[in-house]
Amino acid sequence: MSTNGSNGFEPRLIGFLCRWCSYNGADLAGTSRLKYPPNMVPIKTNCSGRIDATHILKALKEGADGVLIAGCHPGDCHYINGNYRTAGRFPLTQKLLEQLGLEHGRVRLEWVSAAEGDKFARVVTEFTEQIRALGPLGWSAQFVDESVAAPAAEKEAVPA
Amino acid sequence: MSKFKFAMYWAGSCGGCEIALLEIKEKIVEVDQNYEVVFWPAATDFKYKDVEGYDDGFIDVCLFNGCIRNSENEHLAKVLRAKSKVLVAFGACATMGGIPGLANVASAQEIKDLVYRDSPSIDNPDGIYPQERYEVPEGVLDLPHMYDTVKTLDQTVDVDYYVPGCAPEAGQIAAVLDVVTAALKGEGPLPPKGSTVGVSPKTCCEECKRVKEEKKITSFRRIWEFLPDPEKCLLEQGLICMGPATHAGCGARCTGVGMPCRGCYGAPDGVLDQGAKMLSTVASIVDAPTPEEIAVIAATVPDPVGTFYRFGLPSSLLRRARV
Amino acid sequence: MAEDRIAVYFCHCGSNIAGKVDVDKVVAWAAEQPNVAIAREYKYMCSDPGQDLIKEDIQQHGINRVVVAACSPTMHEPTFRKAAAAAGLNPYLLQMANVREHCSWVTVDKGEATEKAKRILNAQIHRLPFNEALDPIEVPVNPAVLVVGGGIAGIEAALKLAATGKKVYLVEKNPSIGGHMAMFDKTFPTLDCAACILTPKMSAAGKDPNIELMAYSEVVEVDGYVGNFKVKVKKKARFVNTDTCTGCAACLETCVVRKVPSEFDQGLGKRSAIYIPFPQAVPLRATIDAEKCLTLKGKKCKQPCVTSCGPGAIDFEQKDELVELEVGAIIMATGFELWDPGQDARYGYGRLDNVITSLEFERISNASGPTNGEIVCKNGEPPKSVAILHCIGSRDLNYQEHCSRVCCMYSLKFSHLIKEHLPDTEVYELYIDMRCFGKGYEEFYRRLMDEGVHMVRGRAAEVTDLAMSPEEEGRLIVKTEDTLLGIVRRIPADMVILSSGLAPAKDAKAVSQTFGFGCSGDGFFLERHPKLEPVSTITDGIFIAGCCQYPKDIPDTVAQAGAAAAGALALVDNPTVKVEPTISYIDPEKCAGCHICVGLCPHVAIRYNEELKVAEVITAACKGCGVCVAACGSNVPQQHGYLDNQIFAEIEGAMAF
């Protein structure tokens, strides 16, 4: 869809944004007319603490090449310490994903406050370029029908 | 009245499920009264061609255990699906991949390389690997084709009911047989298709007798490191117990003897991915003053795949490691 | 269940969206999507005709789910949900797709913006079938209001609210209200005496039967939610019984500890260990400084304060007291701190005599200040030359990027006061730009130019006492580039006033965390919307006024305080308030009672029911973070509005192509 990809690959990204800080930070990037790549679709929850590993895995399974979680800075959480839970889940999720063969940078956690429109734009830009450099993930595409009956040439993706 | 036709098959399986069936003890007599065994490689001598020769729907109930690891498993799954009125995914391997499903962290070739070439105890100077086809003067010998990805039964064929567990508990097996037998006799309804039969909808914690309080973990421990308090919740003691993300049904026998739950009964209803959920649970109860410290402690969990997906990697959202 | 009939409305927002997104293309595509019955575009969906489109389609075409692709839901979700409700559709069956802030405004390429808009929209189209009809939760509102900070902003807000008959708690951390304004001599540009206009208000606040003044007190804990805050206030021990103390000040004269630098006088004057910060203090009560009082330090003292006190108000046994308040709304008016110029060694503050801050000059020029209003140097001599350095710690990328908005004007005021007191003294204003934006401000600037003040356009580079000529000997020299003349100048002065910028209070971050809203990048409290809701915070029911939000002058502060009071009144004047129903619930049939969620709830809104052996959500206390949902191993707690299947559906929609 784009012309700016050096390798012609446009990453498809999901960004989970908490409503109070990061979503508003993204809004501020908009009202400030900052420009960043169009690759990430934001999904809003009240708190980043609502997002568990299931949502990240689901996004990857549905074809996301990378997943961003953005929440309030520690101490700024609208729910006191909801983002502390995010902070705990994230590295363990990352460790799991690395064990499953994903590169370290496929998922990313950032604290973006409602005042940090510039940081939001920078994070999305960086993350898009980071995933572009890693290349497509295409998780579901790797599930080919291995039945011996199907000749190799006709192997198809199995709907997961 | 003629007996109902019963089949039991082991695909990628250890055989434990077959033995578990005998755990129903004298109830096996009742099974014998109601059913005629038409296929059960562990107990009776039938050949594949016998089964292939049955009419579709000939078998009333088939308990299928084991995962789909190779072409033979898949072939039998398809045959038994066609021949059975009721196909039950029996045990952790058939329902969610089971222990053999952990092979999904590697490809078939990587596994063969390790087993036939790289393992320190291997002496194989000629690099001989098993061949899928070998021609001898008497004819062609073949071995099943080993797949890269272990699959569950329902990723292969349509499944009617699930009986999880490694292995399923006797009480649950008896309950399943009772329900199905009653339905076949017209004495009761069949449970809704796709249900996990004979278990409470809650989690293992419901059945666990240990005292549960608020959980705040400051470090993770392994069972060999200390003697856990016999009354307290194991998770509160820093042991990763899968109980909170595991379907009830086993009677919490492991935690009863001080072993943390490993999750063999699979995800509770409404949970998409048991491992991801339990990982999130465990990481959520890590307690430290700063997010950085919480992150450091959470990341000390060794082997997340082996811990949280011990039985369920093939049925998880991602199903396997990247190939 | 009735079939899902989704209507999609795509707003042009003039050219804000349509200028970047191919609206026709997206709408044509949307019309083909599953469950979509109607897809329309309109110039301004938020206008009445735009809202009428939604209403008509709901009433005439059996639409039962709506997605409006437009601006951020923060902006207009309430507008559209209200429209849906007016047409008989449950408002929570309407979702917004943010294609302006998150798409058209941030994307360069039109084709890319169009594709992204489709994906954002598709996430909501996929989500909608999983949306449930929800009813806002109505909770009672406590009519009392807490005002934190007793400067001019807090006083003004408290008086306004008290005038409506509402109970107001005014909490001030210092022994007296009055704040910074009480320290000023004159106020720009009208040169009214600050005390003359402030003290009547202070006194009124102290006497108002509806205002409970809690000076020398600090908020330590805030719990609850809009309409129902529970606040713990620590009343610090004054060691003086405020009920019996008459404020006669007899004790002050007798105290043997007499050389404590006075905070009110910026350390230029002295006070005793038992003190009243300034004569017009409200409440006019003595306070013992526990760190200076000999008795309280466990040393020997004849305690002349006790003997001099007629009513016997001294009480060395007094302890800090924790008071619990219940209020419906909170106004934050915690003010600012002067930027500490000691942070930049070039200005010599703290190192060179007669380099003073603006606040110190306020005290020096004040008739009731340490010099009785005489403008003198440290040696008691009037300065022959004064340099006033603008933008100290403001408009400086090394320290604070922001403009402090008041320094130009108060600097001009200083020039005027100096010229008034010492007509022969040379006064230099070293400025970057003169920012005289208020009513009568530019006029004041012109007036000053006629008063013989030297205006030097250039930021001061350094203040030094290293003389390079006989006439510089023994004086301060300000080095600067005069950018209008294009030369480097050395300006000799006997007094240098640093027009320090306004900085966020050092504890602003901690305070914002206690109250549960945030700070912006500059460290000041973050308003909910910079233009439309400058007095609200992201926490419903908490308002901000004055310099805690951003530097501002007194007229703006008073105006904002009034607006904050109106905001609070609009809330607490109602018997109930509706809160978002996006809270968690637990199905007792599924909960195994493992206790994981119980200890995790940040708002202690989950309790364990010993009888049923299950966890329960306390609806009124749940704020809807969803931490319990993510933490439960069996997904038993679920959160209305953010159900797992709704989030999963959004993911599927966003990733569908």
Q: Looking at residues C393-412, what average pLDDT do you find? A: 96
Topology match between the domains C145-236+321-335+505-572 and C337-503 = yes
Q: What residues does each domain of chain A span?
A: 13-157
Q: Looking at residues B57-80, what average pLDDT do you find? A: 97
Q: Looking at residues B26-54, what average pLDDT do you find? A: 94
- pLDDT, tens digit, 9 for 90 and up, residues A10-40: 999 999 999 999 999 999 999 999 999 999 9
How confident is the prediction for chain B on average, in pLDDT? 94
A87 part of contact set with chain B, CB < 8 Å: yes
Count of Cβ atoms closer than 10 Å to residue B81 Cβ: 18
Which band of pLDDT confidence, cut at 50, 70 and 90, is reported for residue A79? confident
CA distance B89 to chain A (A): 19
Q: Looking at residues C45-69, what average pLDDT do you find? A: 97
Who's near C448: CB < 8 A, 6+ residues apart?
Answer: C412, C415, C416
Residue of C513, C586, C590, C596 for testing the chain B interface, max B β-carbons within 10 Å: C596
- pLDDT, tens digit, 9 for 90 and up, residues B132-170: 999 999 999 999 999 999 999 999 999 999 999 999 999
Who's near C533: CB < 8 A, 6+ residues apart?
Answer: C527
C590 part of contact set with chain B, CB < 8 Å: yes
- pLDDT, tens digit, 9 for 90 and up, residues C424-446: 999 999 999 999 999 999 999 99
Per-residue pLDDT, C530: 84
- C538 chain-A contacts, CB cut-off 8 A: 20, 24, 78, 114
Could you identify the residue written with the tokens 């020029």? C365
C567 three-class SS:
helix
How confident is the prediction for chain C on average, in pLDDT? 95
What is the distance between the alpha carbons of residues A116 and B142, in angstroms, rounded to a whole number?
A: 64
Closest in A35, A75, A81 to C108, CB measured: A35
- Taken as a whole, chain A contains a residue count of 160
Could A89 and B317 be called an inter-chain contact, meaning their C-beta atoms sit closer than 8 Å? Answer: no
B278 part of contact set with chain C, CB < 8 Å: yes
CATH homologous superfamily, domain C145-236+321-335+505-572 = FAD/NAD(P)-binding domain (3.50.50.60)
What is the distance between the alpha carbons of residues C624 and C579, in angstroms, rounded to a whole number?
A: 11
CA distance A13 to chain C (A): 8
Who's near B109: CB < 8 A, 6+ residues apart?
Answer: B148
Residue of B72, B152, B318, B319 for testing the chain A interface, max A β-carbons within 10 Å: B318
- A52 chain-B contacts, CB cut-off 8 A: 276-277, 279-280
Could C635 and B202 be called an inter-chain contact, meaning their C-beta atoms sit closer than 8 Å? Answer: no
- A20 chain-C contacts, CB cut-off 8 A: 518, 538
Report the CATH number of the A13-157 domain.
3.40.50
- Which two structure tokens, joined as six digits, stand for C657? 């192509």
Closest in A61, A93, A146 to B279, CB measured: A93
CB C517 within 8 A of CB C524: no
CATH homologous superfamily, domain B4-99+149-184 = NADH:ubiquinone oxidoreductase-like, 20kDa subunit (3.40.50.700)
C589 part of contact set with chain B, CB < 8 Å: yes
Find the range with the poorest average confidence among B58-62, B198-202, B207-211.
B198-202
Per-residue pLDDT, B323: 75
- C105 chain-A contacts, CB cut-off 8 A: 30-31, 33
Closest in A84, A99, A148 to B305, CB measured: A99
Could B280 and C595 be called an inter-chain contact, meaning their C-beta atoms sit closer than 8 Å? Answer: no
Closest in A52, A60, A160 to B277, CB measured: A52
Of A17, A63, A96, A70, whose CA–CA distance to B276 is shortest? A96
Q: Taking 50 as the threshold, does the pLDDT of residue B55 lie above it?
A: yes
CB C581 within 8 A of CB C176: no
Helix axis angle, A82-99 to B274-284, nearest 10°? 140
Residue of B206, B246, B247, B255 for testing the chain C interface, max C β-carbons within 10 Å: B206
Amino acid in the structure at residue C463: V
Q: Taking 70 as the threshold, does the pLDDT of residue A1 lie above it?
A: no
What is the distance between the alpha carbons of residues B99 and B85, in angstroms, rounded to a whole number?
A: 28
ipTM over 0.90: yes
Per-residue pLDDT, B1: 60
Subunits in contact with chain C (3 or more CB pairs closer than 8 Å): A, B
- Show the DSSP H helices in C97-209 as ranges: 110-127, 152-163, 194-207
Per-residue pLDDT, C539: 85
Share of chain C above pLDDT 70, in %: 100
- pLDDT, tens digit, 9 for 90 and up, residues C226-240: 999 999 999 999 999
Share of chain B above pLDDT 70, in %: 100
Chain A residue at shortest CA distance from C653: A62
Could B243 and C594 be called an inter-chain contact, meaning their C-beta atoms sit closer than 8 Å? Answer: yes
Burial of residue C371 (CB within 10 Å: 0-12, 13-18, 19+) is: middle
- B157 chain-A contacts, CB cut-off 8 A: none
- Sign of the alpha-carbon dihedral angle for B278, B279, B281, B286: positive
What is the distance between the alpha carbons of residues B201 and C617, in angstroms, rounded to a whole number?
A: 20
- A1 chain-C contacts, CB cut-off 8 A: 111-112, 115
In whole angstroms, how far apart are CA C273 and each of B7, C256, C257, C266, C289?
Answer: 94, 8, 6, 16, 5
Q: Taking 90 as the threshold, does the pLDDT of residue C326 lie above it?
A: yes
B101 part of contact set with chain C, CB < 8 Å: no
- Sign of the alpha-carbon dihedral angle for B241, B242, B246, B252: negative
What is the distance between the alpha carbons of residues B11 and C475, in angstroms, rounded to a whole number?
A: 97
Chain C residue at shortest CA distance from A49: C627
CB B23 within 8 A of CB B170: yes
In whole angstroms, how far apart are CA C279 and each of A6, B240, C42, C307, C369?
Answer: 73, 66, 64, 22, 11
CB B244 within 8 A of CB C634: yes
- pLDDT, tens digit, 9 for 90 and up, residues C277-299: 999 999 999 999 999 999 999 99
Architecture of domain C337-503: 3-Layer(bba) Sandwich (3.50)
Count of Cβ atoms closer than 10 Å to residue B309 Cβ: 31
What is the reported pTM? Answer: 0.84
Architecture of domain C584-639: 2-Layer Sandwich (3.30)
Closest in C113, C517, C625 to A49, CB measured: C625
CB C358 within 8 A of CB C411: yes
- C113 chain-A contacts, CB cut-off 8 A: 38
- pLDDT, tens digit, 9 for 90 and up, residues C182-205: 999 999 999 999 999 999 999 999
Report the CATH number of the C6-136 domain.
3.40.50
CA distance C602 to chain A (A): 6
- Show the DSSP H helices in C345-406 as ranges: 358-365
| Radius of gyration in angstroms for the set of CA atoms belonging to chain A, rounded to a whole number | 17
Q: What residues does each domain of chain B span?
A: 4-99+149-184, 106-147, 200-308
Q: What angle do CA C159, C164, C169 make, to 5 degrees?
A: 50
Count of Cβ atoms closer than 10 Å to residue C359 Cβ: 19
Q: What residues does each domain of chain C span?
A: 6-136, 145-236+321-335+505-572, 337-503, 584-639
Chain A residue at shortest CA distance from B273: A54
CA distance B127 to chain A (A): 25
Q: How far is CA B218 from the centre of its chain?
A: 32
CB C182 within 8 A of CB C167: no
**Interfacial A residues in 33-92 facing C (CB < 8 Å):** 33-38, 41-47, 49-52, 54-55, 58-59, 62-64, 72-73, 75-82, 85, 89
Per-residue pLDDT, A148: 56
The CB-side HSE value for C635 (13 A sphere, CA atoms) comes to 22
- One-character DSSP codes across chain A: --S--TTS----EEEEEETTTHHHHHHHHHHTT----TTEEEEEES-GGG--HHHHHHHHHTT-SEEEEEEPPTT--TTSSHHHHHHHHHHHHHHHHHHTT--GGGEEEEE--TT-HHHHHHHHHHHHHHHHHH----GGGG-B---TTS-GGG--BPP-
Could C634 and B213 be called an inter-chain contact, meaning their C-beta atoms sit closer than 8 Å? Answer: no
CB C154 within 8 A of CB C331: yes
C436 three-class SS:
coil
- pLDDT, tens digit, 9 for 90 and up, residues C32-41: 999 999 999 9
Count of Cβ atoms closer than 10 Å to residue C367 Cβ: 11
**Interfacial B residues in 257-276 facing C (CB < 8 Å):** 268-272
Of C82, C112, C115, whose CA–CA distance to C96 is shortest? C82
State the SS3 of chain B. Answer: CCCEEEEEEECECCCHHHHHHHCCCCHHHHHHHHEEEEECCCCCCCCHHHHHHCCCCCEEEEEEECEEEEHHHHHHHHHHHHHEEEEEEEHHHHHHCCHHHHHHHCCHHHHHHHHHHHCCCCCCCCCCCCCCEEEECCEEEECCCEEEEEECHHHCCCCCEEECCCCCCHHHHHHHHHHHHHHHCCCCCCCCCCCECCCCCCEHHHHCCCECCCCCECCCECCCCCCCCCCECCHHHCECCCHHHCECCCCCHHHHCCCCCCCCCCCCCCCCCHHHHHHHHHHHCECCCCHHHHHHHHCCCCCHHHHHCCCCCCCCCCCCCCC
What's the CA dihedral at C519, C520, C524, C526 to 10 degrees?
A: -70
Q: Looking at residues B5-25, what average pLDDT do you find? A: 94
What is the distance between the alpha carbons of residues B238 and B260, in angstroms, rounded to a whole number?
A: 10
- Which two structure tokens, joined as six digits, stand for C305? 């304060």
CA distance C633 to chain B (A): 4
Residue C285, phi then psi, degrees to nearest 5: -140, 150
Burial of residue C136 (CB within 10 Å: 0-12, 13-18, 19+) is: middle
Of C240, C395, C396, C208, whose CA–CA distance to C313 is shortest? C240
CA distance C525 to chain A (A): 10
C399 three-class SS:
coil
What is the distance between the alpha carbons of residues B74 and B95, in angstroms, rounded to a whole number?
A: 14
Q: How far is CA A155 from the centre of its chain?
A: 29
- One-character DSSP codes across C171-196: E-SSSSS-TGGGG-SEETTTTEEHHH
What is the distance between the alpha carbons of residues B209 and B3, in angstroms, rounded to a whole number?
A: 41
- pLDDT, tens digit, 9 for 90 and up, residues B236-277: 999 999 999 999 999 999 999 999 999 999 999 899 999 999
CB A52 within 8 A of CB C630: yes
Per-residue pLDDT, A7: 62
Q: Looking at residues C348-355, what average pLDDT do you find? A: 96
Chain C residue at shortest CA distance from A88: C631
C630 part of contact set with chain B, CB < 8 Å: yes
What is the distance between the alpha carbons of residues B131 and B127, in angstroms, rounded to a whole number?
A: 12
What is the distance between the alpha carbons of residues C149 and C546, in angstroms, rounded to a whole number?
A: 10
Closest in B201, B280, B281 to C590, CB measured: B201
- A121 chain-C contacts, CB cut-off 8 A: 106
Q: Taking 90 as the threshold, does the pLDDT of residue B319 lie above it?
A: yes
- A94 chain-B contacts, CB cut-off 8 A: 299
- pLDDT, tens digit, 9 for 90 and up, residues C458-512: 999 999 999 999 999 999 999 999 999 999 999 999 999 999 999 999 999 889 8
- One-character DSSP codes across C278-316: STT-SS---EE-TTT-TTTTT-----HHHHH-TT--B-T
What is the distance between the alpha carbons of residues C522 and C77, in angstroms, rounded to a whole number?
A: 29
Chain B residue at shortest CA distance from A63: B318
CA distance B87 to chain A (A): 21
Per-residue pLDDT, C484: 96
